[in-house]
């Protein structure tokens, strides 16, 4: 769910993190990157065999998004390699590997913006990819806790992947004319919220931490399911208008509440 800032939500907490990043961790990232190249190549060749239009544009967009996630993760790992920590992990850990594969699937979904919505395979492709991304989102956190590889960097990667998938799903649905262009504003809300909080911190203004909230989690889940339906060829786009409007209004109200809570002044005794 892409509605929380890093370190504010799910318990992949720990103060991080990876001292041996130049060894096993980057080696694992390289392996995931190589596997990503293979999957992207297979996808490109498969689309070519189906004689789908613009498979090159799909490959360029998907590869660019995935490389951005890998670069972001690599830079954050380098920045934190010398940070104080209470635990050290020699490798990336299975949960973070799963999150990186989620990022790859999300990037492949974003690439569908360049494909025509017609076709037996392409019509189901973005929705199927987004479903796998969402399914993996419910697995990487518990896997990290089960294997004892909970890290703040993993939580940051997880949330970055969620936000990218969330915005990408909205963009594809709008371009494919499954949703109204106004939904783009909803897709940008998580990024705008986080950017505003970061600007406040840099300006020395108070930013209150968001406590876990059932309404926020419920709305995130409902809107995610709505997006998954919107990316499928059924139901028709006309049937999505009213549910989408209602969910969008509730989601915006939730962001307004979170913004008020985060920017309020706390009176000190």
Q: Is the pLDDT of residue 89 over 60?
A: no
**pLDDT tens per residue across span 235-250:** 777 788 899 999 999 9
**pLDDT tens per residue across span 193-202:** 989 998 999 9
**pLDDT tens per residue across span 160-188:** 888 899 999 999 999 999 999 999 999 99
**pLDDT tens per residue across span 248-269:** 999 999 999 999 988 886 555 4
**pLDDT tens per residue across span 203-242:** 888 888 888 888 888 888 899 999 999 999 887 777 888 9
Confidence (pLDDT) at 14: 39
- Output b/e per residue, 109-131; b: 16+ Cβ within 10 A: bbbbbbbebebeebbebbbebbb
Whole-model pTM: value is: 0.81
Strands (E), 55-209: none
Residue 177, SS3? coil
Whole-angstrom Cα Rg for the chain = 19
- Shortest CA distance to 114 belongs to which of 34, 167, 181, 47? 47
Domains of the chain: 21-263 (1.20.120)
């Amino acid at each position: 769910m892409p509605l929380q800032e890093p370190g504010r939500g799910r318990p992949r907490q720990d103060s991080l993190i990876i001292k041996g990043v130049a060894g096993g961790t980057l080696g694992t990232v390289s392996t995931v990157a190589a596997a990503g190249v293979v999957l992207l190549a297979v996808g490109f060749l498969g689309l070519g065999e189906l004689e789908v239009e613009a498979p090159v544009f799909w490959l360029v967009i998907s590869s660019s998004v995935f490389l951005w996630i890998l670069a972001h993760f690599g830079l954050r790992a380098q920045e934190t390699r010398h940070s104080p920590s209470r635990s050290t992990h020699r490798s990336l850990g299975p949960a973070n590997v799963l999150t990186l594969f989620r990022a790859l699937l999300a990037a492949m979904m974003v690439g569908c913006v360049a494909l025509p919505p017609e076709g037996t395979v392409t019509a189901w492709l973005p929705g199927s990819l987004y479903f796998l991304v969402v399914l993996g989102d419910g697995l990487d956190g518990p896997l990290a806790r089960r294997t004892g590889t909970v890290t703040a960097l993993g939580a940051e990667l997880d949330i970055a992947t969620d936000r990218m998938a969330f915005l990408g799903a909205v963009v594809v649905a709008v371009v494919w004319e499954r949703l109204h262009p106004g939904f783009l504003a909803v897709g940008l809300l998580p990024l705008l919220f986080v950017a505003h909080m970061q600007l406040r911190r840099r300006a020395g203004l108070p930013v209150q931490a968001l406590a876990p909230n059932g309404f926020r989690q419920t709305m995130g889940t409902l809107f995610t399911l709505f997006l998954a339906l919107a990316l499928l060829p059924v139901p028709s786009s006309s049937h999505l208008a009213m549910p989408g409007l209602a969910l969008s209004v509730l989601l915006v109200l939730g962001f307004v509440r979170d913004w008020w809570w985060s920017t309020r002044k706390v009176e000190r005794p």
